[in-house]
Amino acid sequence: MDKLIKDSINKGITYHKYNKLIEKLVIKEQTTGKEQTDVRINFTRLNASRMKRLDKTIVLTETEINAFKKTSEKQTWLILIESWCADGAQTIPVLNKIAEAVPSIDLKIVLRDENIELMNQFLTNGTQSIPKLIITNPHNQVLHVWGPRSKAATELVTAYKKEHGEIDDIAKKNLQIWYNKDKGKSIIKDLLELH
């Protein structure tokens, strides 16, 4: 497992490079992964604008930054994602803000569909749900795993599914509205609880 983690980190890209990849995909009207469907291509375009907005609007408080800085050992935050993933677009800018503010955290990004062996080590209820954050130490040992959503977002989705029997377009729209109001605070709260 340590070798798999190390290899994945080594081929991981930065948030800046991930953004450049998304920009190129939008121009080419493509998406990451094998499924080049209109739905996924449209989500990639939408997610690009969501990420740009979040990059400008997410704010970490001094208290939050100082809490993350208490981690003395260097960490790599390895995230599995795809450009069409709506939850990922709401999550990755938050993770990047934390990594930018905390020198001991190095954020690396890998695409799920190109890293199935890694993904299969970190399933959520037997599914390849993304985004999935794997927090490791300098020895490539896994310290924590988080995702695909914050506890608060998961509760929202679970309650809707229980009431309506499925996650439909209304649920997805409600979740995006919730994300817009939450501004990444639930993700930050979850991650602070891991430290």
Q: Structurally, how many domains does the chain consist of?
A: 1
110 lies in some domain: yes
Per-residue tens of pLDDT for the chain, all 195 residues: 889 999 999 999 999 999 999 999 999 999 999 899 999 999 999 999 999 999 999 999 999 999 999 987 899 999 999 999 999 999 999 999 999 999 999 999 999 999 999 999 999 999 999 999 999 999 999 999 999 999 999 999 999 999 999 888 899 899 999 999 999 999 999 999 987
pTM: 0.95
Q: Which of 188, 151, 149, 191 is nearest to 172 (CA)?
A: 149
106 near 99, Cβ under 8 Å? Answer: yes
190 lies in some domain: no
pLDDT of residue 60: 96
163 lies in some domain: no
158 lies in some domain: no
Specify the CATH number for the domain of residue 40: 3.40.30.10
Measure the CA–CA gap between 184 and 175, rounded to whole angstroms: 13
Q: Which residues, other chains included, contact 61 with Cβ-Cβ below 8 Å and sequence gap of 6+?
A: none
* Pair of tokens at residue 74: 């260097």
pLDDT of residue 17: 98
186 lies in some domain: no
Measure the CA–CA gap between 175 and 9, rounded to whole angstroms: 30
45 lies in some domain: yes
88 lies in some domain: yes
pLDDT of residue 195: 77
- The residue range of the domain holding 20 is 2-148
Which stretches does DSSP call E strand in the chain?
75-81, 105-111, 132-136, 142-146
134 lies in some domain: yes
SS3 86: helix
